[in-house]
């Protein structure tokens, strides 16, 4: 029992087994709840943050509390704002070149104002090289270094470009706030937890691989799923949340796609709510559609949603 209690995966597996018996369900629920609380305490929520050259091809590690992963539907929005950020940098460089007396003047100002840039500015021999250093220290929602430079050298032509860009960022931020209000509950007690365990090497996979995983697993339903955290270890564990009322639909959808997940994504284990959909070690898979529908007690609205999903499958 000590060995099981020290291993969260074994403890959760024990909870899943106990869930099968009516008499032990309360104990199982307590075990699974405690496992979730331990995981939530030990790993901080991850965020979809602006990509840089050092993060594009890497899985993120946990960062500060309160951060958030947006689902795949927002990828074009992030790409568009990153493109606008790049355009702003490109358009500002010639304005700086026309207005700043010399490279030495620009470098001197930046080294005095932001001494942490000194090492990177040492080999910068042109306005463009210097602004590349400055640009890397900015973010899509933080132009403070660029604005300080424009203000110091009184480059009035650049101010409308910055204002136009910042207004675009504000519009996107308002949209994201609306998205969070509509899709992020105050707490996750009204959501179902989805946990993938994958035989991945962390440095060999990116955020796009996780998006592809969710698309393959849940098809159109992937847009309703929020990635909450990513854990590194001997394997990769991805924890997601989805609305509780989609539980049956998610279970049915992923069952059809298990073979692809196992072969293409090196799936080791998958749980949705209290259900173990797949576990490589014990070769356990979720029961067939008919048994699943009987097992899960669905509300009237959930039944209709499930019937629609099954009808769509039969019509394909």
CB 270 within 8 A of CB 197: yes
Pairing mode of beta strands 191-198, 267-272: antiparallel
Q: Is the pLDDT of residue 291 over 60?
A: no
Q: Using CA atoms, how far apart are residues 55 and 21, in angstroms rounded to an integer?
A: 46
Question: What per-residue confidence (pLDDT) applies to 155?
Answer: 93
Separation between Cα atoms, residue 43 and residue 255, nearest integer Å: 28
Greater confidence (145 vs 174) lies with 145
Structure confidence at residue 7 (pLDDT): 52
Percentage, residues of the chain above pLDDT 90: 21
CB 221 within 8 Å of CB 253 = yes
pLDDT of residue 247: 82
DSSP code string of 118-173: HHHHTT--SHHHHHHHHHHH-BTTB-HHHHHHHHHTT-TTHHHHHHHHHHHHHHHH
List strands edge to edge, sheet with 284-285: 226-232, 236-243, 191-198, 267-272, 275-279, 284-285
DSSP string covering 216-229, please?
HHHGGGGGG-EEEE
Q: Could you give the CA distance from residue 63 to residue 229 in angstroms, rounded to a whole number?
A: 10
Mean pLDDT of 156-167: 93
pLDDT at position 164 = 94
Q: What's the confidence (pLDDT) of residue 5? A: 44
- Write down the H helix ranges in the chain: 2-5, 8-18, 25-42, 75-99, 103-113, 118-121, 127-137, 144-152, 158-183, 207-218, 247-256, 258-265, 289-295, 300-315
The 3-state DSSP class for residue 40 equals helix
Per-residue model confidence as pLDDT tens digits over 72-119: 566 787 888 889 999 999 999 999 889 898 999 999 999 999 999 999
User: String of b and e for 127-149 (b: at least 16 CB within 10 Å)?
Assistant: beebbebbbeebebeebebbeeb
Rounded to an integer, what distance in angstroms lies between the CA atom of residue 196 and that of residue 216? 13
Is residue 150 very low, low, confident or very high in pLDDT (cuts 50, 70, 90)?
very high
**Cα-Cα-Cα-Cα dihedral sign, residues 92, 97, 101, 104:** positive
The 10s digit of each residue's pLDDT in 43-77 is 333 333 333 333 333 444 333 334 455 555 667 87
CB 142 within 8 A of CB 88: no
**pLDDT value for 57:** 37
User: Mean pLDDT, to the nearest integer, of 125-149?
Assistant: 91
The count of other CB atoms within 10 Å of the CB of residue 11 is 18
Every domain of the chain and the residues it spans? 43-68+188-315, 73-180
Compare 274 and 143 and report the one with higher pLDDT.
143
Contact at 8 Å (CB) between 121 and 110? yes
Cα 227 to Cα 240: distance, rounded to the nearest angstrom: 4
Instruction: Record the tokens describing residue 246, joined without a space.
Output: 């989609």
């Amino acid at each position: 029992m000590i060995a099981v209690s020290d291993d969260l995966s074994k403890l959760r597996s024990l909870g899943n087994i106990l869930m099968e018996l009516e008499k032990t369900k309360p104990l199982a629920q307590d075990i699974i709840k405690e496992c979730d609380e331990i995981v939530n305490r030990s790993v901080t929520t991850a965020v979809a943050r602006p990509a840089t050259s050092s993060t594009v091809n890497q899985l993120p590690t946990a960062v500060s509390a309160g951060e958030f992963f947006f689902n795949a539907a927002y990828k074009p929005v992030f790409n568009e704002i990153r493109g606008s950020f790049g355009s702003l940098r490109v358009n500002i460089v010639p304005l700086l070149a026309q207005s700043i007396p010399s490279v030495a003047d620009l470098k001197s100002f930046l080294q005095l104002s932001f001494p942490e840039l000194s090492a990177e500015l040492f080999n910068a021999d042109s306005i463009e090289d210097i602004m590349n250093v400055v640009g890397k220290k900015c973010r899509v929602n933080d132009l403070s270094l660029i604005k300080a430079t424009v203000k110091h050298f009184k480059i009035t032509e650049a101010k409308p470009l910055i204002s136009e860009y910042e207004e675009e960022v504000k519009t996107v931020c308002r949209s994201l706030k609306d998205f969070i209000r509509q899709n992020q509950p105050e707490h996750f007690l009204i959501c179902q937890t989805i946990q993938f365990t994958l035989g991945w090497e962390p440095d060999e996979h990116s955020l796009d691989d996780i998006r592809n995983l969710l698309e393959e697993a849940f098809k159109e339903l992937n847009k309703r799923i929020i990635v909450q955290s990513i854990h590194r270890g001997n394997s990769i564990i991805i924890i997601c949340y989805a609305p509780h009322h989609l539980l049956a639909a998610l279970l049915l959808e992923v069952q059809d796609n298990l073979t692809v997940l196992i072969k293409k994504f090196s799936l080791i284990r998958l749980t949705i709510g209290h259900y173990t959909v797949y576990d490589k070690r014990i070769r356990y898979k979720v029961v067939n559609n008919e048994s699943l529908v009987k097992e899960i007690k669905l509300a009237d609205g959930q039944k209709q949603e499930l019937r629609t999903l099954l009808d769509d499958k039969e019509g394909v």
